[in-house]
A and B are shown apart, each in its own frame.
Chain A
């Protein structure tokens, strides 16, 4: 009897372990790697870094399984890490979904975040920002043969898709086209399938995210970014408030821009989408670095 009970307990434990590891392949991996990262968890000039990125945004932060992550955010992060003296092999990539970014920084889960993280005053209450390393603007993605939609005010009677929990679609309805129909989905991938099947006429969010979506292997040539940004989103590097790396990161970003590596990274990640980063936004006052005090 006692033996039987023990067996069933082990079975339960094994099942639990299995289901846990099945849910988070990246978690197990990062815990293996973090043993080496522990020494420099606080950030700084140590030889390893834990960096938070998105795993589900092609062209910005994208990772399949345990492959090397790709995207513009990732390339900027790699450059900055290199400037801080951290080898690429010593970077631990962690997924930081939008709602989790402040918590991850506050409790030291990650040293820095490169995840389409717009600098806002509300967020500055809890975290610090370096950068911005990119200035995006809200824009529209449409089918490649679309002629009618030229900007946010040509959407009356059209169907528009965006993701749950962002105000970008609502903003178009409130400020530009009152007659637009809104659909909100869990992710941009769903929006893109609707755009392809014809159930929606446009997808809206930051222009570089749209360009990344349009540039994936499966979508190449099907969609285009309208190219008329109508908001300013300054992507910063999220940091813990007690960081001592902010200035270092700003210097690294400046160096990346000066050397031309920044533009190269941007080009290679948005190739074939007809997208060009808005020069006005990215060289004007909006692109000026946050002070690191």
Chain B
């Protein structure tokens, strides 16, 4: 028990800071990947064959590349060799790299989640939209997407949960988040390894479980009943 007290004296104040970093990464990457995901989904359902091809190629390429690789391409190649920086402040620079990598990666999953929502909208809706004179984009904006997004809440929630946990990969881009702190703590306090592990497991549960509950609740309320 005494060793636990000293553990939390040593690291207790750093744990919330580290988790806050994961939350910031999650929120920003969720916004980024959602926007990009909607664009990709529009590509994939558009009447233009070349756009469809671009959307499909992106999804298949990115979805099948490990996130760590994308993160490392960002840091090792873009920053390390091409010397492209986004901010003079080092910490901010790597944070931006991590958000971009997470957004690019999860956009592929967002796109597929939204596309599954599009499939819940009956064909007749699109035909009716066209019949009253709407083009592709207005039809998508006013008729298809509002219904599709409501139907896609659950798969989007799944993607968000995966995204939350994947923020730990940002360690590869030198972002000081929870998994980095856990590694440090285990390195220096192996005498209480199990307690350290449980702390971080519980921490992630506290973040992830509400996301699951929230999306289930939102999906029940908002999905279009057919």
Contact = CB atoms under 8 A, between A and B. Distances in A.
15 contacts: A98-B187, A99-B187, A102-B193, A122-B188, A122-B189, A123-B191, A125-B3, A125-B191, A126-B190, A164-B174, A167-B188, A183-B94, A184-B176, A184-B180, A197-B81
A181 B93 CA distance: 11
A210 B174 CA distance: 20
A21 interface: no
A199 B191 contact: no
Nearest to B188: A122
Contacts of B121: none
Contacts of B188: 120, 122, 167
A260 interface: no
Interface in B173-189: 174, 176, 180, 183-184, 186-189
B184 A199 contact: no
Interface in B181-222: 183-184, 186-191, 193
Contacts of B189: 122
A102 B75 CA distance: 32
A177 to B, nearest CB: 13
Interface string A131-173: 0000000000000000000000000000100001111000000
Q: Which has the most chain B C-beta neighbours within 10 Å: A99, A102, A122, A197?
A: A122
A28 interface: no
Contacts of A99: 183, 186-187
Interface in B92-117: 94
Contacts of B186: 99, 165
A199 B193 CA distance: 35
Interface residues of B, number: 24
B176 A181 contact: no
B184 A167 contact: yes
Contacts of B91: 182
B136 interface: no
B174 A165 contact: no
B90 A159 contact: yes
Contacts of B94: 183
A180 to B, nearest CB: 9
B76 interface: yes
The 7 closest A-B pairs by CB, nearest first: A165-B183, A125-B191, A181-B90, A102-B190, A183-B174, A184-B174, A165-B184
Interface in A51-80: none
Contact of B83 (A181, A185, A199): A199
Interface string A188-210: 00100110011100000000000
A198 B176 CA distance: 23
Given A182-B90, A182-B174, A184-B176, 19 more contacts: A98-B187, A99-B186, A99-B187, A102-B190, A103-B193, A120-B188, A123-B191, A125-B3, A126-B190, A165-B187, A182-B91, A183-B94, A184-B180, A185-B75, A185-B172, A185-B174, A190-B80, A194-B80, A199-B83
Interface size grouping (class) on chain A: 20 to 34
A198 B94 CA distance: 17
A122 B191 contact: yes
A126 B184 CA distance: 17
B80 A197 contact: yes
A186 interface: yes
B33 to A, nearest CB: 24
B79 interface: yes
Nearest to A167: B184
Contact of B80 (A125, A166, A186, A199): A199
A98 B187 CA distance: 7
B129 interface: no
B70 interface: no
Contact of A193 (B3, B80, B191): B80
A194 B174 CA distance: 13
A194 B75 CA distance: 10
A99 B174 CA distance: 19
A186 B172 CA distance: 6
A197 B83 contact: yes
Given A99-B187, A123-B191, A190 B83 contact: no
B184 A166 contact: yes
Nearest to A165: B183
Contacts of B187: 98-99, 165-166
B23 interface: no
A184 B173 CA distance: 8
Contacts of A166: 184, 187
Contacts of A181: 90
A123 B190 contact: yes
B171 interface: yes
A181 B174 CA distance: 11
